[in-house]
A and B are shown apart, each in its own frame.
Chain A
């Protein structure tokens, strides 16, 4: 269903809602396309005319400065016109339904929606409802998916590790609430890594997490042994009062990434984090700023990867 919804009859990307249903070839095409945009930021004119005349709406039902900014920058560099809609403070707060909001914007002849929403499945719903010429990019829905973040993470891994085959990857922290982790797991498996481990206490792991194609581990020393990539996740502090954890300090003691714990990983292992990071909660500053950290590189790659996805989605519809 998701494959059918996301791809055109020719198998090209129409919407980008989830990694599920997308094969290795398409994911690699996204990474290769992003590669071609990487050097652009160093050019004097940081723009290509691929989406000139197109209107992209950043439809953020949930606050996010960083993600919205990278989408905006990506769209601008593709020469599109960008509208930023802070929906949380506008129409829906007056009782307008999600569908009516979409219909109104659609009537303004836009070409793409970049959607962030607090509920899983919201981007799917919008993609099912919009006019045929409109593409929808999921910028994070509930606890379901954040596929562009996952792809920029894959791009970063490929930059440092060259290939995915044989890699052991550990994802550490609040897997339960993380849409990023779900998308990363799907992408890593689709791209053919050797093993994906998820390291967390049981309170922060989804039910039957093994069915997602991962190895659950509750001990950092065991989980980090010989891994090539360590992906730390933000501990969602807003969940801390719901009896998921006794305290931040105990979490850091057990699952926080310190230099000592990182020693268990391969010596050339890279440390990633989708941000924003909580220093001293899930990661020590010495690691976040250390030589193995590629956290800022992830941020830089975000623009190129989102440019790739936006341009591919718009061009597949023949509207670009």
Chain B
């Protein structure tokens, strides 16, 4: 392990309340000093981070890698590499792989592949029910033993509330966090867009906000009954924010994240029938976005995730309702998060907390911090670098983003994983700065 000095950067470490110009010292894969100079530190490698931000590597709570099962869309190698280029050093893989993560063998397979790839650290979320069928409980303890750090049913519905109750009781017996994607399937049906003005005009089957908030409210009731720790994944609407806020005030042990695109896009941004805007939950109304942003600012929403879902071309070629939902979002995660700062009362440290220490705390991971002795998972980014979202700059195998051709500000220049420079931006010939 080499000794690395990162100097002259603006060190922002929300976990430890640090926001100052200084140097970061890394040795043996660990952080050995922050800010103050180490007199006898003989750096083998020095990175000049002048004008850049140095922060903990990001912890992304929802990243589809498409392996096993759908390697035509991406694989562990391609997507964990894209993750590093996005500053993500740890990521959570939802259980809806094919086969799904309902046996230790699948967990081991993913672990092996991720280790072989050698990029971002992959943490598997175990299936809550066998085959994600919503009826039979999975072998949660065995999954935990194999390395799963939480359980969930991804987007698959549960048979009924009794099954959810039993699953929550069982999960909490093994101190497993439930990652819950709130969706009442009987209300969302075959919907593909927010049930609002845009879906009405374009005749797209709608999904009401209540499909999410009713499911969320039921889960909150059961969280109190069962004592299960619950994390609500990718909430999208005002009523969900209000209910989580009330639950937290009441003292329930719940947390929530939001997908970055929900903080920027609304139903009004949808280019008619452009399948790149087909996401689940759907892009909501402007008032929902406003509540989500405020929730991030006031701490009701704890974390921001990419909800990265790479697709092949075929998945998005077709009439809007028949296309697959999801955005390849890793590489736009940072600039879109930075775009939230300076407005909506979200400071840089707070925004970065949503990408680093908060998700790490939710998942119980020793990550998302620059504390001395911590693993040196570090992201260095240029907050003023202007770049265009286009193929040459894109590492994910997924080509589905509504941001193609758009100029974004802010880009990762280096990512260090356990003290190793695992990604370095190849600087374009002409660099624009905002």
A interface with B by C-beta (< 8 Å): 1-2, 20, 97-99, 117, 119-122, 124-125, 141-145, 179, 182, 206-209, 211-212
Which residues of A have CB within 8 Å of B320?
A: 119-121, 125
- The smallest C-beta distance from B281 to any residue of chain A, in angstroms, reads 15
Q: In the complex, are the beta carbons of B314 and A125 less than 8 A apart?
A: no
- The smallest C-beta distance from B372 to any residue of chain A, in angstroms, reads 53
Q: In the complex, are the beta carbons of B317 and A99 less than 8 A apart?
A: yes
Q: In the complex, are the beta carbons of A125 and B201 less than 8 A apart?
A: no
B197 at the interface (CB under 8 A from A): yes
A117: which of B199, B200, B202, B319 is its contact (CB, 8 Å)?
Answer: B319
Which residues of A have CB within 8 Å of B205?
A: 143
Q: In the complex, are the beta carbons of B208 and A207 less than 8 A apart?
A: yes
Number of cross-chain contacts by CB at 8 Å: 77
Rounded to whole angstroms, the CA-CA distance of A209 and B202 in the bound complex is 12
Q: In the complex, are the beta carbons of B196 and A207 less than 8 A apart?
A: yes
B47 at the interface (CB under 8 A from A): no
Q: In the complex, are the beta carbons of B201 and A121 less than 8 A apart?
A: no
- The smallest C-beta distance from B83 to any residue of chain A, in angstroms, reads 31
List 11 extra interface pairs beyond A122-B318, A207-B197, CB under 8 A: A98-B318, A98-B322, A124-B319, A143-B203, A144-B203, A206-B199, A207-B199, A208-B196, A209-B200, A211-B197, A211-B201
Selected A-B contacts with CB under 8 Å, 10 pairs = A119-B319, A124-B273, A125-B320, A142-B203, A142-B204, A142-B319, A206-B199, A206-B200, A207-B208, A211-B200
B321 at the interface (CB under 8 A from A): yes
A120: which of B196, B208, B319 is its contact (CB, 8 Å)?
Answer: B319
- The smallest C-beta distance from B431 to any residue of chain A, in angstroms, reads 33
Q: In the complex, are the beta carbons of A125 and B318 less than 8 A apart?
A: yes
B44 at the interface (CB under 8 A from A): no
Rounded to whole angstroms, the CA-CA distance of A117 and B203 in the bound complex is 13
Contact with A along B259-275 (1 / 0, CB 8 A): 00000000000011100
Which residues of B have CB within 8 Å of A141?
A: 203, 319
B169 at the interface (CB under 8 A from A): no
Rounded to whole angstroms, the CA-CA distance of A207 and B187 in the bound complex is 14
The 7 closest A-B pairs by CB, nearest first: A143-B203, A121-B273, A144-B203, A206-B200, A119-B319, A122-B319, A211-B197
B67 at the interface (CB under 8 A from A): no
Q: In the complex, are the beta carbons of B200 and A1 less than 8 A apart?
A: no
Rounded to whole angstroms, the CA-CA distance of A94 and B316 in the bound complex is 20
Interface residues of B in 178-217 (CB under 8 A from A): 195-197, 199-206, 208
Q: Known contacts A1-B271, A1-B272, A207-B208: does B200 contact A98 (CB below 8 Å)?
A: no
Q: In the complex, are the beta carbons of A179 and B197 less than 8 A apart?
A: no
Q: In the complex, are the beta carbons of A97 and B318 less than 8 A apart?
A: yes
Which residues of B have CB within 8 Å of A144?
A: 202-204
- The smallest C-beta distance from B274 to any residue of chain A, in angstroms, reads 8
Which residues of B have CB within 8 Å of A1?
A: 271-272
Which residues of A have CB within 8 Å of B322?
A: 98, 119
- The smallest C-beta distance from B5 to any residue of chain A, in angstroms, reads 51
Q: In the complex, are the beta carbons of A179 and B203 less than 8 A apart?
A: yes
- The smallest C-beta distance from A230 to any residue of chain B, in angstroms, reads 22
